[in-house]
Chain A
Amino acid sequence: MKWLYNIVEKLRPQFDEGGKFHALHSLFDGFDTFLFTPNTTSKRIGAQVHDATDSKRTMIIVVLALVPAMLFGMYNVGYQHFLATGQTVGFWQTFAFGLLAVLPLILVSYIVGLGIEFTVAQFKHEEIAEGFLVTGFIIPMIVPIDTPLWMVAIATAFAVIFAKEIFGGTGYNIFNVALITRAFLFFAYPTKMSGDQVFVRTDGTWGWDGGHAVVDGFSGATPLGQLATSTDATVTLTNTVGTPITVLDAMNGLYPGSVGETCVWAILLGACLLLLTGVASWKTMLSVFVGGGLMAWIINLSGADNAAANTPWYLHLMLGGFAFGAVFMATDPVTSARTETGKWIYGLIIGVMAILVRCFNPGYPEGMMLAILFGNLCAPLIDWCVVKVNINKRLKRSIIKK
């Protein structure tokens, strides 16, 4: 790494005050601290405690945790394509097709988001905040594969500007930026975000493998889409070509859905990394699952007669974006509750709301997005209440004599 360090140090004067490229100093600074730990230390005043991890390292851990689900998502995109067109191809070809399909989404999301972030940082003479590293990686994972790229660009720009920069940038946002992107897409372009046309790519990617007709019995509806559109009280969930989905299939995730959300194993792998490194809170994660499971179980027992309500509670936790949202999005340290008791309440609210939306609002097949945004909204209030209660409790304990 020495040679890289030398290059960076050689370039540094050009970006300092008065240098040729001073206008791009935040860009340089961003890459410099991305590559190397800065050797600046705090001023020698008072006692200062430094953690070994800074936010750049934290973000990278989250991206690493997302990688298994992303890789699986790519494979699944290819798998669904070849399944729908009735072809049998090898593993690498399947994966390559998915890679080519997902890559433009990743690029667009990063270019637009980081572009805005860099511009704003330049404008305000601040350092580039690293929050978008994760956001930009999550955005392609929570949209259908056939989302047009210009829509992703507009939605990303909207979310970064209105959900983040307006509030003061990374760390100040009330709502999860990636979810705002998805919410914008969902409300602005509903035809491209739900239904049975967008979750499986049936034509080719960049001219590769296009023009195949789909096989008989093809349906690109996601399991949750099937639940929402079904008029029967119970429904047999099927995959793209009409084979019923078992519980194990739901875990394995080879069914249509947003790119990164289908495989529970991959998500759990990411969850393990997040929990082992302490980046995400196990309380939030667990309580989302507990809340969702309990609510779905109660609805199961209540005897409501629609297909979503009759789906067993454990399937609710596996299908759609529930697991993904619980592991990667509800635990976002910026937008979730900060107090320890608050995390439990926050998680429970999200889990309960997600299942309620799924079961009782036929307009929205997936409730996780709305539930987490609702949770984000409640988080400051929850924290405030928890702190107040604690203050009152301690006041009572202390004996104040007048």
Chain B
Amino acid sequence: MALSQKTKETLLGPLSANNPVIVQILGICSALAVTVQLKPALVMGIAVTIIVAMSNVVISLLRNTIPMRIRIIVQLVVVAALVTLVSEILKAFAYDVAVQLSVYIGLIITNCILMGRLEAFAMTNSVGDSLLDGLGNGLGYAIILVIVAFFRELLGSGTLLGFQVIPQWCYDHGYVNNGMMMMPAMALILVGCIIWVHRSINKE
């Protein structure tokens, strides 16, 4: 499938050059909260991707009928409905992760990435483009979450997705997990490091 230049830009732009977390600095709050372990971060990333994509589609479909004065309310209703849906599905099929994520699933509703995409993109673009844009931004968010969670879980607990990665003999020889990685402050520093690396690769 040959993608046109614009389509490609819409889908892949948010992954790196226009990443919502590390370039637009949106959604930092949840990036700090759910990245202690890799698994909740993955689930959170997928959940946000689905919600952004679907709400983008819905709003894009409705975009010509929404009165400008109440558009925020309409957007909120759509997002809230989707978030509730995802939250219920998680509780039904992945209860332990839902418990770990606790309020943060519900708080997706306040994620700036969502409202930002709806306002900036879905309100003025066609359904297909909006879907791609939503997917791209959701994935861009998910990637950062997974990178941060990877380092936090590896260095903070010595595990990945719950499996022991750092061998026992390291502990026997005096290795100790870094407790700082479990704190939100370290997530912020890691996000900072990612931004640092990213900016030094992409000079503009």
Asked if B24 is at the interface of the complex by the 8 Å CB criterion, the answer is no
Per-residue interface assignment for chain A, residues 339 to 381, with 1 indicating a CB less than 8 Å from any chain B CB and 0 otherwise: 0000000000000000000000000000000000000000000
Asked if B180 is at the interface of the complex by the 8 Å CB criterion, the answer is yes
Asked if B25 is at the interface of the complex by the 8 Å CB criterion, the answer is no
Residues facing B in A156-175 (CB within 8 A) are 162
> Within 8 Å CB of A188, what residues of B?
178-181
Asked if A151 is at the interface of the complex by the 8 Å CB criterion, the answer is yes
B189 and A189 contacting across the interface, CB-CB below 8 Å? no
Asked if B112 is at the interface of the complex by the 8 Å CB criterion, the answer is no
> Within 8 Å CB of B176, what residues of A?
148, 151, 189, 191-192
B194 shortest CB reach to chain A, Å: 14
Per-residue interface assignment for chain B, residues 170 to 194, with 1 indicating a CB less than 8 Å from any chain A CB and 0 otherwise: 0000101011110100000100000
A189 and B179 contacting across the interface, CB-CB below 8 Å? yes
A190 and B189 contacting across the interface, CB-CB below 8 Å? no
B172 shortest CB reach to chain A, Å: 13
**Bound CA–CA A184/B189 (angstroms):** 12
How many residues on chain B are close to A (CB under 8 Å)?
Answer: 8
Residues facing B in A104-153 (CB within 8 A) are 148, 150-151
B174 and A184 contacting across the interface, CB-CB below 8 Å? no
Asked if A187 is at the interface of the complex by the 8 Å CB criterion, the answer is yes
CB nearest to B196 among chain A residues: A166
> Within 8 Å CB of A190, what residues of B?
179
B183 and A187 contacting across the interface, CB-CB below 8 Å? yes
A369 shortest CB reach to chain B, Å: 14
A148 and B179 contacting across the interface, CB-CB below 8 Å? no
**Bound CA–CA A10/B7 (angstroms):** 65
Residues facing B in A287-346 (CB within 8 A) are none
Residues facing A in B137-194 (CB within 8 A) are 174, 176, 178-181, 183, 189
CB nearest to A155 among chain B residues: B180
> Within 8 Å CB of B183, what residues of A?
187
**Bound CA–CA A189/B180 (angstroms):** 8
A184 shortest CB reach to chain B, Å: 6
CB nearest to A190 among chain B residues: B179
CB nearest to A187 among chain B residues: B180
> Within 8 Å CB of B179, what residues of A?
187-190
Q: Which of A150, A184, A191 contacts B180 (CB 8 A)?
A: A184
Give me 7 other A-B pairs in contact (C-beta within 8 A), A148-B176, A191-B176 excluded.
A148-B174, A150-B174, A187-B179, A187-B180, A188-B178, A188-B179, A192-B176
Residues of A in contact with B (beta carbons under 8 Å apart)? 148, 150-151, 162, 184, 187-192
Q: Which 7 A-B pairs have the closest CB atoms?
A: A188-B180, A188-B178, A187-B180, A188-B179, A189-B176, A148-B174, A190-B179
Sample of 16 A–B contacts (CB below 8 Å):
A148-B174, A150-B174, A151-B176, A162-B189, A184-B180, A187-B179, A187-B180, A188-B178, A188-B180, A188-B181, A189-B176, A189-B178, A189-B179, A190-B179, A191-B176, A192-B176
